[in-house]
Amino acid sequence: MKKWLLTLLFSTALVLGACGGDDGDTEESSDGGDSVDTAAAEEIYESNCTACHGADLSGGQGPDLTSVGADHSADEIADIIENGQGGMPPQDVSGEDLDTLSNWLADMQ
């Protein structure tokens, strides 16, 4: 009886541990900083950036952003979003949305 109960408890713990409860909406920043709310960042990107940079960040009218984090820090990306650069006009993204978007893009390497 004890062996059966121990097996049942172990199996339950194993199944629950495998589930993990992680929905994948946040991930750790590559620079060891704050975590990025991926779902929120993707929504902000979709609302403000996809027309020029494509739904998959691969570019189009604007440049490819799939590895923008390799060339620019989150602060540099935020500055570009706020003030524009080259043919890109300033965007109407600010506050927490700007931080979320720029940190998410900075993780693209």
H runs (alpha helix) in the chain:
2-19, 38-48, 50-53, 74-83, 95-106
The answer to whether the CB of 78 falls within 8 A of the CB of 102 is: yes
- Tell me which CATH homologous superfamily contains domain 35-109: Cytochrome c-like domain (1.10.760.10)
Residue 90 backbone zone (phi > 0: left; psi -120 to 50: alpha; other: beta): beta
pLDDT in tens, the chain (109 residues): 667 666 666 666 666 665 555 555 555 444 445 588 999 999 999 999 999 999 999 999 999 999 999 999 999 999 999 999 999 999 999 999 999 999 999 999 8
Rg (CA), the chain: 20
Query: Which of 97, 84, 83 lies closest to 45 in space, CA to CA?
Result: 97
**Token duo for residue 64:** 């490819």
Residue 27 one-letter amino acid: E
The predicted pLDDT at position 66 comes to 95
Taking the C-alpha atoms of residue 76 and residue 106, their distance in angstroms, rounded to an integer, is 9
How many angstroms separate the CA atoms of 105 and 7, rounded?
46
Q: What is the pLDDT of residue 31?
A: 46
**pLDDT value of position 52:** 95
